[in-house]
Chains A and B, each alone.
Chain A
Amino acid sequence: GAVVSQHPSRVICKSGTSVKIECRSLDFQATTMFWYRQFPKKSLMLMATSNEGSKATYEQGVEKDKFLINHASLTLSTLTVTSAHPEDSSFYICSARDAASGGETQYFGPGTRLLVL
């Protein structure tokens, strides 16, 4: 199946700093990528849809100035958590849609665990 990578897998940062998370589709082109966050023992909550070459669309309640998304190429989307605070600590997961195969399935990256101290 298609492979999606995320980097870093784990990051610890101080409150007030910014953290960038990369999501890459390794063997397919992804015109659309999605960013989710997941709290312990909870389900995935969609944060935003990342569209290659255009602005991301954010779900209700997600601050776009807080969570900056850039989708500069067909294989890379980045999520930057700006001025991170402890409440931003979470598991962030991206997924990518393989448009060439008909795009029926989203493939998930391995996730990035963020801890803000």
Chain B
Amino acid sequence: GQNIDQPTEMTATEGAIVQINCTYQTSGFNGLFWYQQHAGEAPTFLSYNVLDGLEEKGRFSSFLSRSKGYSYLLLKELQMKDSASYLCAVRAPNDYKLSFGAGTTVTVRA
């Protein structure tokens, strides 16, 4: 089975940094994705990690430790438009299926 955990909500101030953690226990692993989803819209791709380490992409970075079943998404220099739900998803081997966590709602305050 798939068990993917992430915090329900986080609040941060504009310009600050927020780290969203994701832990997973899955029957197989072939990569971890982070998606951003604004209310009423479809998810948009942020990052993909399949090997251990940190992937940096502008203000967003994602980290993976396969041995610990752990990932985090780091959002730097927060902007109001970053207020959204952030979804952690693990891909199963062989069939490309994604299992999603429940999502973390990030609220950025002025």
Contact = CB atoms under 8 A, between A and B. Distances in A.
Interface of A: 1, 32, 34, 42-46, 49, 91, 93, 95, 97, 103-111, 113
Contacts of A91: 40
Nearest to A111: B42
Nearest to A45: B100
A110 B43 CA distance: 8
A46 B98 contact: yes
B99 A106 contact: no
Interface of B: 31, 33, 35, 40-45, 48, 87, 95-103
Interface centre among A34, A95, A103 (most CB of B within 10 A): A95
A56 B64 CA distance: 32
B97 A93 contact: no
B87 A44 contact: yes
A41 to B, nearest CB: 8
Contacts of B42: 93, 108-111
A70 B103 CA distance: 29
B100 A44 contact: yes
5 contacts: A32-B96, A43-B100, A95-B98, A108-B42, A111-B42
Contacts of B100: 43-45
Contact of A105 (B40, B48, B101, B102): B48
B41 A110 contact: yes
